[in-house]
Amino acid sequence: MEAPPDNDVLWARALHFQHHDGSPALQGVSLGVREGEILAVSGPRGSGKTTLLRCLSGLVKPQDGEVWFNSVPVHTMGPLSRERLRRDRFGWIDPTPVLVPELNAWENAALPLMLRGTGRRRAKTAALEWLDRLDVGDKARRRPHELRQAERQRVCIARALAVAPAVLFADEPTAPLHRADRAQVLRTLTTAARSHGITVLLATHEAQTAALADRAVALLDGRRVRTVHLPPLAETTVATGAAGSAGSAGSAGSAGTEGRAACSLSA
């Protein structure tokens, strides 16, 4: 078993993963992530981005391949060890907000800190700071059902950042937000990561989001690729409409693959 490079906080080699129905999600993906780097994992929906983040974070074990965190083999850990690793060193942001309904906003944001053993007062201070930075500080005492979905997602982002994780896994973190809000939230997230030295893996299907990262890798059908060209949504819609009106089955099939224009497999 070959040890990863010393300057990579996360390192994966030849990851393979299949869904329960037998369909491949990852097919030999390898990558390294440097400490403090913001890495975008880009590609259309269904390309394997979420599965890759889940394997790298220890949420699931790959069926084959290796995952290392700070030279520790995550792929050989048992479920409890991986759970402790996620609790103590990692942060996670889902594409849809998941909060404890019985807790208010600041309690939700502070919960991971308190699970780590941080005192309630200190955890509350950290949670309120991040809620303020994400423009939901005035909603700190409201329960999730009293918040709009976009506000709930900001609470989830505050919760992930409040623990100052070594690695933050962000799976389409601004999906529930209006387009006007996305840039501000992403700037807050990336600025916080750089100022606190947090390594970020950012899964996205949007070129504008990927452009905020230090580096990007692209996935397509569970494999790393060199190029994935995705035209803007408006162009895809027009192309799809034109294909439908023309009645061409071949054109419709081409437009149905998320507007993919070109791709090439990496070496």
pLDDT in 10s for each residue of the chain, 267 residues: 566 666 799 999 999 999 999 899 999 999 999 999 999 999 999 999 999 999 999 999 999 999 999 989 999 999 999 999 999 999 999 999 999 999 999 999 999 999 999 999 999 999 999 999 999 999 999 999 999 999 999 999 999 999 999 999 999 999 888 888 888 889 889 999 999 999 999 999 988 899 999 999 999 999 999 754 554 544 444 444 444 444 444 444 444 433 333 444 443
Q: Are 41 and 49 in contact (CB under 8 A)?
A: yes
What tens digit of pLDDT does each residue of 52-109 get? Answer: 999 999 999 999 999 999 989 999 999 999 999 999 999 999 999 999 999 999 999 9
How many CA within 13 A on the CB side of residue 15?
30
Q: Are 204 and 171 in contact (CB under 8 A)?
A: no
What tens digit of pLDDT does each residue of 95-107 get? Answer: 999 999 999 999 9
d(CA 145, CA 15): 39
* Crossing angle for the helix pair 149-162 and 105-115, to the nearest 10 degrees: 30
Which sign does the torsion angle of CA 47, 203, 231, 28 carry? Answer: negative
Which sign does the torsion angle of CA 75, 25, 165, 197 carry? Answer: positive
Instruction: Report percent pLDDT > 70 for the chain.
Output: 82
Q: Which residue has the tokens 């950290």?
A: 126
